[in-house]
């Protein structure tokens, strides 16, 4: 399916302001926290099962949590895994649907400057330059209501006239 055919033309849509952006971000933040807890639970349950079968040992650590946060190999792998879950959430939804669940609730859509879907590269640039949402502060000052991450990624966040 052609992404331009399913997207709204950006010229007829209002640029999203700071308030809506933050509301969607808070909504998505709760979803990401739940997703991260689930992802961490899978790791802990897997390691506990491996421990029960004698495949691994705590090797001087008090428990799985201590091992995951202090082991020289497990700790960076675990952090990278959790980061990939977070990055994957936003990248998947922005590229595939143009909006996360929080953005959908607030009738927002991220688009390229032509009004179509953004690319994986644009999604990764947005994430890398978002400052965990602080980049949205620029929307208060920018006449086009863009966040710093939108400027870098050449994207825009628009308010949809009706939910899709």
State residue 1's pLDDT score: 43
Tens-digit pLDDT string for the chain (164 aa) = 444 444 555 557 899 999 999 999 999 999 999 999 999 999 999 999 999 999 998 889 999 999 999 999 999 999 999 999 999 999 999 999 999 999 999 999 999 999 999 999 999 999 999 999 999 999 999 999 999 999 999 999 999 986 55
Does some domain include residue 3?
A: no
Written as six digits, the tokens of 138 are 């620029």
Query: How many CB atoms within 10 Å of residue 13?
Result: 18
Does some domain include residue 131?
A: yes
Does some domain include residue 86?
A: yes
State residue 160's pLDDT score: 97
Does some domain include residue 153?
A: yes
Rounded Cα distance between 122 and 111, Å, is 10
Does some domain include residue 108?
A: yes
Number of domains forming the structure of the chain: 1
Domain hosting residue 129, numbered range = 8-159
Does some domain include residue 58?
A: yes
111: burial class by Cβ within 10 Å (0-12, 13-18, 19+)? buried
Does some domain include residue 104?
A: yes
Written as six digits, the tokens of 53 are 């079968």
Rounded Cα distance between 17 and 156, Å, is 11
pTM of the model: 0.86
State residue 59's pLDDT score: 85
Q: What letter would DSSP give residue 13?
A: S
Does some domain include residue 76?
A: yes
State residue 13's pLDDT score: 87
Written as six digits, the tokens of 5 are 């055919």
């Amino acid at each position: 399916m052609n992404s331009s055919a399913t997207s709204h033309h950006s010229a007829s849509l209002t640029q999203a302001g700071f308030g809506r952006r933050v509301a969607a971000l808070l909504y998505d933040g709760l979803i990401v926290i739940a997703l991260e807890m689930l992802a961490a639970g899978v790791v802990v349950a897997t390691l506990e099962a491996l421990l029960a079968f004698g495949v691994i040992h705590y090797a001087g650590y008090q428990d799985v949590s201590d091992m995951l946060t202090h082991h020289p190999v497990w700790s960076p792998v675990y952090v990278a895994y959790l980061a990939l879950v977070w990055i994957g959430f936003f990248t998947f939804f922005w590229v595939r649907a143009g909006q996360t669940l929080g953005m959908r609730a607030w009738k927002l859509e991220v688009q390229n400057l032509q009004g179509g879907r953004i690319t994986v590269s644009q999604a990764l640039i947005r994430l890398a330059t978002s400052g965990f949402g602080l980049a949205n502060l620029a929307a208060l000052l920018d006449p086009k209501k863009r966040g710093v991450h939108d400027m870098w990624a050449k994207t825009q966040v628009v308010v949809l006239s009706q939910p899709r």
